[in-house]
Structure 1
């Protein structure tokens, strides 16, 4: 049963975090003109009198840490909800639960996935430290997009049920040994939302040989049982993120102690640059991958034309909500408006200090305009690419208004350096 997605307002998506926690751009320069120098103050290092240590502390303590904590809590709640759903699915197979009860439990499981995904889409825009280590290994285990393999998920559903890989008793199944595309939120989307119960593989292996001939109930139960395993693995990986982030030796403390003796960062300015790098998710992923790619601005599955199948979340139709969550996370990281109402030190304050008020205003206006265009879209992003393409194009333009400022005036005013992945991007 595919439940249609509704776009969530920024306030609603952001409140999940707070409640659970307590086409041309000028790229001729890869860094601001004052990058990395101008003062002997170890607390800053960027040639500014602005208190960059205070900026880092607020963003870490009141924005980033609460986001990672909330995701961990929601991942645990999601595991519990999926376990309840699977129990109802089994009861329905035995005639002890009605079809309406089964569908209601499925809807709760799908809603739980949406809530978990909404929180992760905030964390997606806060990738630094443990989420970037080993080419983003931990991040990919949680959310492998754009990489995915529906066939791989179907295979692992059968492998998990059998307790072995492709009926080979010498290869016991262990999800920790499986690739990222068979795990995490992308896998759960397929398991919970795909109405097609036949497997997605062009050629079935031994484990899937009889899959398409099994009853609907048997296949739904196999999928929900594997979904519980995937959800449990998701909890584990969300805890790994917290463990690497928190504590005296965690990455959060390393950022806050930047510029101090024995710090891994030479200055607070270097730590600020790490956080500012995360903002470029809006350029490299939201603008280019989530909007430009399905619009056909670059080659996609349909060539160079609008391609609904290339949206981020085609099965659950969560794409618009994901983009809106990304925008909300960007705004929190930019303004410093987290869980502490009495401390909102953010990049906007830094810009004002560095005579960049116009840049700050332009970026905030771009965010507001982006959300207005998103809210004007009726239905899903897939359908909008067919019926309301102009609105999707306008959303791309408004997001680009923000990223144009981000890649030029923002880094120049604050004497920051572009992330390497953006230095050569001319779109």
Structure 2
């Protein structure tokens, strides 16, 4: 994607671096819709309506502002989504220099010399690169609950360039390690920006930084381009992998810049959400914009509940067989970062639900305004219980699936409590629509 950075945004980014199928199911005829109509009629009578059925004035006591959808959108944009994308940009910008510092030591290291001091420095630099990846991944796992605007556009192409899981391919990464080392593909200069998402992003970085098995992962039919890879010295393969890791880190930084610009730049998606219902906005009403954010919350249902927990537990078919726990199916197989990712997902869901904190306008206030405080309380308890269940898993998820399956099952059950409310009362009370991918999901 071609894009131009405004000078101020570029300076800001540099400064930060240095520091599915189914039919749509509508709830428009549910009880939330009736309450919404009452609210809109009341708002229209006080002379402070924004044109979308949203009251911009104060409540009947003259002190407490009445809930309005435009305020909810502004709160979510300013207090949750923009800070999340900004933090991810900062973490991604820091990675290239840290990975290069490790790779420079790897490139100059001679394992035959027996220099223990050099070996210790190399190991410390590699751990630093791994820790930088972990910090960036936690930041991204927050953003995974915010696949809207630039991240949902063009069939999620930007999102997939940043993180292609669950469709990652280690063989594709192995092939590009060789292509990058040679410098060309079939006579054309190597350009990572033209490569598929399976060869880029955080999942490729994980494989390159955490996988100690230096043999390629390709099948015989896919291994031809790798030539003599498996017979090269260990050090030569480590150097090739780390050099490609630097390239991937730089590409990830570019993608983070693109995300932040597309979101926060002039006429970016942030302003489109905040101006929903106004002339020229792609969202004809504020409720349409809110529904897009609501759709993003359903990451909790398919990706988190089903892919990250149910599939490794054997509740769905997996590569180990039917109804069998399968540690190989976890999200972060090499870094063993799966449970940290799950915790970050739940934390991000809570932030969106609350609008950042309980003092801000969030979906909890939207529920209150629709006489659905009981649903709000159930969801808040569900979020608290899901967080506690994830925190109770004291090992990496692979180990827990083998040694403490009950704890993982409990985590799945508590996440399901939240998603059951999300798919039913939450949607109905707020007169929202289910995302297409969840319309036929009765789990």
> TM-score when scaled to structure 1?
0.88
Quote the offset at 1:247 in angstroms. Answer: 2.5
In structure 2, C-alpha distance between the alignment counterparts of 1:44 and 1:386, rounded to whole Å: 53
Larger-gyration structure (1/2): 2
* 8 Å contact from structure 2 (residues 24, 433) kept in 1: no
- 1:44-97 Cα deviation digits (max 9, x unpaired): 458996311011001101110110011011101011110111112123238686
Distance in 2 (CA, whole Å) between partners of 1:79 and 1:248 is: 27
Q: How does 1:239-318 map to 2 (within 5 A)?
A: 239-304=257-322, 305-318=324-337
Aligned to 2:87: 70
* Corresponding residue of 2:398: 382
Cα pair 1:43 1:258 within 8 Å, conserved: no
Change (3 A) 1:302 1:42: farther
In structure 1, list runs of 5 or more residues that go unmatched: 1-18
Q: Equivalents in 1 of 2:202, 2:33: separation in Å?
A: 38
Alpha-carbon distance, 1:422 to partner? 0.9
How far has the Cα of 1:35 moved from its partner? Answer: 4.7
- Structure 2 CA distance, aligned partners of 1:294 and 1:30? 32
Q: Give the corresponding residue for 2:133.
A: 113
Check 1:303–1:43 CA distance in 2 against 1; reply closer, same or farther (3 A cut).
farther
Aligned residue for 1:417, secondary structure, equals coil
CA contact (8 A) 1:311 1:319 kept: yes
1:82 pairs with 99, 113, 117, which one? 99
Distance 2:349 2:251 in 1: 27
Alignment of 1:401 onto 2:422: no
Distance of 2:231 and 2:121 partners within structure 1: 25
Map of 2:435 onto structure 1: 419
Q: Structure 2: how far apart are the matches of 1:267 and 1:330? A: 24
1:121 Cα deviation (Å)?
0.2
Q: CA deviation at 1:113?
A: 0.4
CA RMSD of aligned residues (A): 2.4
- Structural mapping, 1:136-151, within 5 Å: 136-151=156-171
- Shift of the alpha carbon at 1:218? 1.1
Q: Distance in 2 between matches of 1:237 and 1:28?
A: 31
| Among 153, 164, 172, the residue aligned to 2:189 | 172
Matches within 5 A, 1:7-22: none
* Alpha-carbon distance in 1 for matches of 2:50, 2:390: 43
2:188 is paired with a residue whose SS is: strand
Task: Tell me which residue corresponds to 1:351.
Answer: 367
Alignment partner of 1:195: what SS? coil
Q: How many residues align?
A: 398
Matched residues in 2 for 1:28 and 1:77: separation?
41
- Helix, strand or coil at the partner of 1:151: helix
Higher relative contact order (CA 8 A, sep 6+): 1
Aligned equivalents of 1:146, 1:31: Cα separation in 2: 30
Aligned to 1:157: 177
Are the aligned partners of 2:55 and 2:67 in contact in 1 as well (CA < 8 Å)? no
Shift of 1:301: 0.7
Post-superposition offset of 1:276: 1.2
The one of 426, 429, 438 equivalent to 1:410 is 426
Is contact 2:347-2:387 (8 Å) kept? no
User: Would you say the 8 A contact 1:46–1:269 is kept in 2?
Assistant: no
The aligned counterpart of 1:230 is 248
Report if aligned partners of 2:382, 2:414 keep a CA contact under 8 Å in 1.
yes
Aligned to 1:16: none
Residue by residue over 1:332-368, the C-alpha shift from the partner in whole angstroms, topping out at 9 and shown as x without a partner, is: 0000126xx9x51111111122221111111111111
Map Cα deviations across residues 96-121 of structure 1 (whole Å, 9 max, x no partner): 86111111111000000000000000
What residue number does 1:9 align with?
Answer: none
The reply on whether 1:31 has 2:15 as its aligned counterpart is no
The reply on whether 1:129 has 2:146 as its aligned counterpart is no
The alignment's TM-score, normalised by the length of structure 2, stands at 0.85
**Structure 1 CA distance, aligned partners of 2:177 and 2:316?**
34
Q: Offset at 1:28? A: 11
Q: Is the 8 A contact 2:145 2:349 kept in 1?
A: yes
Q: How does 1:318-397 map to 2 (within 5 A)?
A: 318-337=337-356, 344-397=360-413
The answer as to whether partners of 2:145 and 2:345 remain within 8 angstroms in 1 is yes
